[in-house]
Structure 1
Amino acid sequence: MKRIDERDTMFARMSYKKGSKAYEDYYRRHPNKKEIDDRIREKPHLCSEGTATFDEILSPIADANFAFLGGIRHLAEGPVNPNKVETDAKRITRVLKGLAEHYGACLVGVTKMKEEHYYSHRGRHEENYGDEVKVTHSYGIVFAVEMDKEMINRSPQVAEVIETSKAYVDVGIIGMQLAYYIRQLGYDARNHMDANYLVIAPHVAASAGLGQIGRNTLLITKKYGSRVRLGVVTTELSLDTDEPIDFGLEAFCLACGKCVRTCPGKAISSEDDSKKWYLEQEKCYNMWRSIGTDCGICISACPFSQSIDLKLIDGIKGNADNIQQLLKIHEDKYGIRPYIKEQPKWF
């Protein structure tokens, strides 16, 4: 599997200011992306005046969350205690998983890190643009926090970006606590968090058995669907690993297609071959800049995000009738997708 270059992601590309070294280098190497990127770059930023969902009181809540994450980004790596504590893999894995859950994670798993879990080069920030990402840690602890269903079911209103940004803070803090703890034990560890990932979190999560990658290219978990945000801590500390799972998601996504039908940017692949599923990130992000939030409709539209019956989910693998039963239950309750028009009372 080919490693992904972070410089090619929309988040990185949109950070390149005209005239900067990163801007000049990237579009010299990718002139075909310059026109579309410049066109999107001219639009208002997320949570900004001029977007469809902007609210001068509420939109800055998400901005404040992302500003806070930027303020602690430099703490993702740090000094390691020279006095190493000896421990066995099974016990420390049990402790770390329990600690992640105690700190607020709803799911946690461990995997052996592979090269393709890491970006090939950094691209999000000017100071380390183009730096090669070296694979230095052998193990990854990946954890998820649940996003509030009613907030996500208000997608793409401003409630959605308030909830997603809150969840990024939640996993960022959990990751800091775990990484600091591991370094205190005498082992190197790094927290991968919003705007400071060296890894592709959904791929790490799938390898660790938290869920599978769905048609919408997001991690889909059995209990929470895509209604999670992911954090990863990588470390040299030897851990007990989990295995990937297969609960029949591929066949379900092939039969469902709600994310395709509800995506306002028409960015999600309708291919019948799961190997060809992709997200047209330019179409997706362009819609974000028009709406003013990170949309979230494909998260809300996914039946798994609505906490459907786990017993029924356990019966979908290899059973087309059970898949159709689940889809009918969802359709009868929500139609094409759930949508809460009213704002939360505290708004």
Structure 2
Amino acid sequence: MKRIDERDVMFSRSNYTKGTPEYEDYYKRNPENKDIDDSIRSKPNLCSPGTMSYNPINSPMAESAFMFLSDIKKLSEVNPKPNKVEINPKIITERIKGYTKFYGANLVGITKMKDYHYYSHRGRHVENYGEEITSKDMHTYGIVFAVEMDKEMINRSPMVSEIIATSKAYVDVSVIGMILSYYISSLGYEARNHMDANYLVVCPLVAKDAGLGEIGRNGILTTREYGSRVRLGIVTTNLPLIEDDSIDFGLEDFCNICNNCSRTCPGKAIPKEDKSLVHGVNRWQINQEQCYDRWRSLGTDCGICISSCPFSQNLDFMQDIDNFKGNTDLINSILKQYKEKYISRPFIPTPPDWLK
């Protein structure tokens, strides 16, 4: 699989300021992206005045969470203690998983890190723009964990309640990752916390290989337990661990029939077509420009594709089914019940009482 260049990710591209070396370099190499990126940059930022959802009291709740994350991201890399503790891989794997859940993770898995899990180059920030990610930056194992986002808050997508929930989840996984990385370094092993705006890895790819879920039509990880309604954290390490197997609960077959996220996407950014070859892998590819452009208009990170996924709703008539693979009649029956319950998607039009 071809490695992804973080400079091409929309979050990076939106940060390039006209006239700077980063701007000139990126659009010299990618002139086809300049006009759409300039147009997106001309719009207000998320949680800002001028966006559809802006509230002068509530919007800063999400913004403050991201400010906090920006302040702590420098702590992501910890120097290990000089003396390594002798480790039994089976025992420490159990300890790590239990410790991660004790700190609030709902799901946790472990995988051996592959080359394609890492970005090829960094691009999110001026201070490391264009830095190549090489073997010296890579670790042997990835500990991947997910926290569930509040269902009722996500079902208020795309309003401010949604981004308050997603920003909290980013904080939750970042703090868990910090604790894990500090713990592992105290045992004398290298560890790095990959967190919001400071990733070296592509989180959904690592999480898929660690057995947390599969990547659905909306381009993000979908878990069997919580659907797309999770946020991911990753700690990479050279601590010897036992890896988990990837899983296949039939999501591709389900997404092929469902298509609900594509129908409800306000930016028309999610493909209706079958999978195609992307970076050497047969997968669905969202249009990130159309997606992020809608975010900047809304003032939130939207979340409609998350709430519209049947797996995100903890529905009773889906919970006892182990695998949907090849079961077309069952999938159609479930989607019929889903549409009878929600028509197109669940939507709570008013904020919770504490945000009114």
Q: Output the amino acid matched with 2:284.
A: W
Q: Output the amino acid matched with 1:120.
A: S
Question: Quick one: structure 1 residues 311 and 151, their matched pair in 2 at CA, closer, same or farther if it must change by over 3 Å?
Answer: closer
Q: Superposition pairs for residues 1-347 of structure 1, below 5 Å?
A: 1-135=1-135, 136-273=138-275, 275=282, 277-309=284-316, 310-347=318-355
**Per-residue deviation, residues 21-63 of structure 1 (Å, max 9, x unmatched):** 1111101111111111001100011000000000000000111
Q: Is the 8 A contact 2:148 2:229 kept in 1?
A: yes
Q: Output the amino acid matched with 2:300.
A: T
Structure 2 SS opposite 1:346: helix
Q: Output the amino acid matched with 1:174.
A: I
Question: What's the TM-score, normalizing by structure 2?
Answer: 0.96
In 2, Cα distance between equivalents of 1:30 and 1:272: 27
Q: Is the 8 A contact 2:87 2:240 kept in 1?
A: no
In 1, Cα distance between equivalents of 2:110 and 2:179: 16
Q: In the TM superposition, what is the alpha-carbon distance from 1:140 to its structure 2 partner?
A: 0.1
Structure 2 SS opposite 1:99: helix
In 2, Cα distance between equivalents of 1:312 and 1:186: 43
Q: Is the 8 A contact 1:59 1:158 kept in 2?
A: yes
Q: In the TM superposition, what is the alpha-carbon distance from 1:123 to its structure 2 partner?
A: 0.2
Question: Quick one: structure 1 residues 253 and 190, their matched pair in 2 at CA, closer, same or farther if it must change by over 3 Å?
Answer: same
Question: Quick one: structure 1 residues 159 and 87, their matched pair in 2 at CA, closer, same or farther if it must change by over 3 Å?
Answer: same
Q: Is the 8 A contact 1:252 1:316 kept in 2?
A: yes
Structure 1 SS opposite 2:353: coil
**Per-residue deviation, residues 70-120 of structure 1 (Å, max 9, x unmatched):** 000000002210011011111001000000000000000000000000000
Q: Is the 8 A contact 1:270 1:277 kept in 2?
A: no
Which 4+ stretches in 1 moved above 2 angstroms? 272-276, 308-313
Q: In the TM superposition, what is the alpha-carbon distance from 1:276 to its structure 2 partner?
A: 5.0
In 1, Cα distance between equivalents of 2:301 and 2:34: 22
Structure 2 SS opposite 1:271: coil
Q: In the TM superposition, what is the alpha-carbon distance from 1:272 to its structure 2 partner?
A: 2.6
Q: Which moved more, 1:314-323 or 1:72-81?
A: 314-323
Q: In the TM superposition, what is the alpha-carbon distance from 1:342 to its structure 2 partner?
A: 1.2
Structure 1: which 5+ runs fail to align? none
**Per-residue deviation, residues 169-228 of structure 1 (Å, max 9, x unmatched):** 000000000000000000000000000010000110000000000000110001100000
Structure 2 SS opposite 1:23: helix
**Identity %, equivalent residues:** 62
Q: In the TM superposition, what is the alpha-carbon distance from 1:311 to its structure 2 partner?
A: 4.3
In 1, Cα distance between equivalents of 2:275 and 2:149: 30
What is the CA RMSD across the aligned residues, in angstroms? 1.0
Q: Which moved more, 1:221-230 or 1:275-284?
A: 275-284
In 2, Cα distance between equivalents of 1:141 and 1:308: 29
In 2, Cα distance between equivalents of 1:341 and 1:189: 43
Q: In the TM superposition, what is the alpha-carbon distance from 1:308 to its structure 2 partner?
A: 2.4
In 1, Cα distance between equivalents of 2:254 and 2:123: 35
Structure 1 SS opposite 2:354: coil
Structure 2 SS opposite 1:175: helix
Structure 2: which 5+ runs fail to align? 277-281
Q: Is the 8 A contact 1:312 1:322 kept in 2?
A: no
In 2, Cα distance between equivalents of 1:282 and 1:312: 38
